[in-house]
Chains A and B, each alone.
Chain A
Amino acid sequence: MYATAIVGGKVVKFVLPPALAKAHQRNAGRTMTDQEAVDFVEAKRRRLALRRAKPYLEGRS
């Protein structure tokens, strides 16, 4: 499976590593902008932080 990137103004076509090829097949049709990726990561971080804080928050109520 191939992907492309623009490097130095030229389009570079390259073979994806097997792990990325599988991910690209599974995520076919899905795309994200840089900002959407940042928001996605932040949402996951928040969820993790809340999960870690849960015992403490429950103990206070």
Chain B
Amino acid sequence: MKAVLDTCILKLASLPNPHNPTALIVKLCWDGLLECWASPAMQEEYSVVLADEPELLALVQDRFQVCYPLVELDCVKHEPDNRFVECALAIDADYLVTVNTARGHFDKPAYGRTRVVTPGAFLNLPDVQRLLRKV
């Protein structure tokens, strides 16, 4: 299963929030059960936003697959969000996981074959529940 994680997901995963679904998603990636992908533009954003979390950046470098989208899109009104859709479409991702589904951001239910889901909804998917039994 291929997924693209919005930067907010990694930020939330780094914090000891009680009941942290984002940390469980990162764990699925760490365990090799979930294929997470990032483009160079996304990696750059991760490194700027998560500059205070070097271990998490190392995890991204170590476990995330790299893709090189060949097109620049502008299907999302908020320009920086397009980098994530470009990556998702380039790898034909199953899911784009985000908490930002507000208007002008990831406000469509899907981009191509890639479904936009929140962390909670993602963990409740039957395919993901099967993965969680292996954790």
Contact = CB atoms under 8 A, between A and B. Distances in A.
A24 B16 contact: yes
Interface string A2-14: 0111111001101
B8 A34 contact: yes
- Give the interface centre of A4, A6, A23 by most chain B CB atoms within 10 Å: A23
Contacts of B26: 17, 20
A31 interface: yes
A contact residues, range: 20 to 34
Contacts of B49: 40-41, 44-45
B115 interface: no
Given A7-B123, A37-B99, A32 B15 contact: yes
Contacts of A31: 15-18
Contacts, number: 108
Contacts of A15: 27
Given A16-B23, A41-B7, A45-B80, A4 B53 contact: no
B21 A37 contact: no
Interface residues of B, number: 37
Interface string B123-135: 1100001001001
A7 B125 CA distance: 10
Given A5-B23, A12-B24, A20-B26, A30 B132 contact: no
B11 A41 contact: yes
B58 A5 contact: no
B16 A37 contact: no
A50 interface: no
Nearest to B135: A14
B14 A5 contact: no
Contact of A8 (B13, B15, B31, B129): B129
Interface string B98-117: 01101000000000000000
A53 interface: no
